[in-house]
Structures are given as C-alpha cells and as structure tokens.
Structure 1
C-alpha cells in the first residue's frame, strides 16, 4: 500500500446503493469496483487498483481510460483521484472535441491551453485556460467525498512522487500547426451538454489518421 502524500484527504463515504448504481452505469466488464474500507482514504492506492471519485465519471471519464487521458496522466505523473472534477472535464472536453473533428490528440497544445498546478497536499488541477468549461465546478465541489476503488486494466497509471521538473509547470512554445490549433481553441466556449452527446460513440484518432485542421481555423 502506498500514499501519494502524507496529507489525509476525506475518506469516501460511498454507500452500497451508490456503489451498485455506479457499477451498473459506469463500470464495464473486466473491471471491479468496491467501497473504501475503514481507514482508507482518497490518497490510498494498491498496486492493482486506483481510487476514483465517482463525480469524475459524471463529467465524462470512461473505463477503459481513453489513450488521450492516459497520456496526460502519465505525462504529469498523477492519478485520477488527485485531479478535481473540473480538471477531468477539461481533459475529456479537449480529447472528445478532437475526436469529433477527427484530429489527432496533441499533448503540446493541451499543455499550452491548460497550465498544470499542484498544491502542497498533493491535489492537482489545470488553470490559466481561455477555454470555458461551464456548469461543473459548483456541482462537483465535494468531488473527494464519494470514492470507489477500481481494479482492472488501468494501464499502469501510477503516481510519481519524485520532484517534477519546471517544464511540467511551464507552458510549451508552439509553432506551425500546433500554433494554429492552439489559436483555434482559444476562442472555444464549451457547454457541458457537449459531453453528454454521443461521447461513447467517438472513436480515438490513431496516429496518422487525423485530418489536417486548417479547415477549423477557417470555420472559427
């Protein structure tokens, strides 16, 4: 058992009924979910399972974890329970919009749009973006309190306790197509309803299969 900080988060007060509803709606075959045991908290995880705030799935997180989401988590060395629901929504909105427009995922542009912030107690979030993801923060301000521990193929998502380099916190420079895509996204204003329209039907865009995106700039 490991703890990603010494700070004790709120324990997840998830009832049997809430867990059963969550499993029926959000947990696909091949994954198992359980309630936190006595003494377990959001900053507790085991080798083969992770703690997930249930509210993360209400803003678009899916199992199996999308490859775009895995790439972001692995780059920053965080697990889903460290990110608030607004941060999860930002990740999902960006990835799902690229899927809808058939554009290959771009971690550099994501980093430019959403600056990574970390607090001393181990919680992380994204800030500084001009993309608006509305109607989320107020609803999910208690995102830590309902937790499920999930076991399954989590693609070796682990917390990296090592000190992160400054490049993680510093937005990257962008040029060429990256700069054009970044410019396009600066003017987007996303409704949360976007997350509820056909999200599960959006396939990933494999490397080399994505469309070039100058047409998006023309439509902006």
Structure 2
C-alpha cells in the first residue's frame, strides 16, 4: 500500500473512532431541515443525545445542518457523488467549507454548461485528511464568501434514509493513490489556468440551486471550448 493510501485508510479509521460530541439539534432546526431540504423519497430522523456524527445506523447517512446551509442537497448532485466516491468518504467527513467548495465549483460548471470533469476538479483543489476529517482547499481557485469558523457543525445533524446512488453508507477503505494531482492534456491545462485567474463568490448565496441542471455527458464538452469562450461577461 502506498503512503498516500495508508493515510487515506487511517483517515477513515480515525473518523470511525473519533469522539464526536452529542447531537444538540433542537426541534425547530429539525423542522427546518425536514421542510426545506428533504424531498419525497427520503426520510429524516432526529438523532438522540447518545448518537454521534460517525455512528450512522445501517442504511442512513448523517448530514449536518451547516452542510445543508453550505449548499448540500439530496438527491446528491452527480458532481458530489463523483467526488465523494472517488475519495472514498461520506459527506459527514467533509467540513462545511469543503462542501461549499464542491457545490460552488459545480454551480459554475453548470451555469456555463460545461460537463463536470473529476480530473479538472482534482487539479484545482487540494485534498487533505486529518484526524478523520477531510478538507478541500483551492490550489488554483480563489473563493470568496467562505465562513471562517465551523466549530460546532458536528453537533447538529440528522440521519437521512433513501437512495444515495453509490455513495457508501459507511466510510470505506480506499487503496488507490488519491492525493496526487492528475496529469492533464493541453486543453485541460489551459482551463485550469483560466480558473486560476478568477475569484469566485460562493454562488448558492445568490442562485437557485434547483434551477442549475447538470450537463449531460457529451452535450457540452469543455475540451471543445476555448478558454476565451468561457464565462463571457463574468469579469
């Protein structure tokens, strides 16, 4: 097993063993989550005081209130499914700012009708595992509007049951090298440099997320676009 893979496995085990605080979600917050973020076909359950973020019952995912406020939605967006599945993590392992980065980047790709590409995402964002949690940071992309403090996000969560489309219901041991950025072709590399010249506001503060539909494979492939044609009028 490579050093990177070993760290990934240790991160997973550390998350399972971590001593998270009790859930302090109050009833009004649970009602808010259920009303605003739980669509038909999914059910939410308020945890008891003895439940913890990393102790997910079989068939359920733990999602925090701040994850929803950061743009997390169910059914899970295709872009989030791809990233979570690739890194072998569950949403509860990502802090709210990491969710913000994932959703914000997906929003910009959808708004410009550019098909999401995991290699581009891996090149633009750093993946770091520490103490059982996963942190994303923009290596090239500059983000505005991220919160500085999320000290208590792990104390307010719900258990959600439903179809999550290949997202593991428990953290998995992932053996591939996932930290090393991929080698990109000329056009992909040019797009990475283009993104590096932008400062992105966190878009879900303004946009209706449900109105931003995913780009079907092959409908608009960014490799067929020139950097000059992207983000027209966004400067």
**TM over 0.5, yes or no?**
yes
**SS at 2:188's partner residue?**
helix
Separation of aligned partners in 1, 2:14 and 2:57: 9
User: What whole-Å deviation, never above 9, does each CA across 1:154-201 have from its counterpart, x for those lacking one?
Assistant: 123114442543x30111121122112211111221112554312210
Equivalent of 1:24, from 35, 38, 45?
35
Equivalent pair of 2:124/2:140 in contact (CA under 8 Å): yes
Separation of aligned partners in 2, 1:207 and 1:193: 23
User: What whole-Å deviation, never above 9, does each CA across 1:91-110 have from its counterpart, x for those lacking one?
Assistant: 10111111000000010010
Equivalent of 2:107, from 96, 101, 113?
96
Q: Establish whether residue 87 from structure 1 lines up as the match of residue 98 from structure 2.
A: yes
Equivalent of 2:162, from 128, 149, 152?
152
**SS at 1:169's partner residue?**
coil
Separation of aligned partners in 1, 2:63 and 2:140: 27
Partner residue, 2:54:
43
In structure 2, relative to structure 1, the CA distance for the partners of 1:163 and 1:71 (3 Å cut) is closer
Q: What is the RMSD computed on CA atoms of the aligned residues? A: 2.2
Separation of aligned partners in 1, 2:14 and 2:165: 19
**SS at 2:154's partner residue?**
coil
In structure 2, relative to structure 1, the CA distance for the partners of 1:194 and 1:49 (3 Å cut) is closer
User: What whole-Å deviation, never above 9, does each CA across 1:3-56 have from its counterpart, x for those lacking one?
Assistant: 952111122210111101111111111111111123210111123110001111
Deviates more, 1:15-24 or 1:206-215: 206-215
Equivalent pair of 1:131/1:186 in contact (CA under 8 Å): yes
Give the length in aligned residue pairs: 217
Equivalent pair of 1:115/1:170 in contact (CA under 8 Å): no
Equivalent pair of 2:107/2:203 in contact (CA under 8 Å): no
Question: For residues 116-127 of structure 1, what are the structure 2 equivalents within 5 Å?
Answer: 116-119=127-130, 121-127=131-137
Gaps of 5+ in 2: 1-12
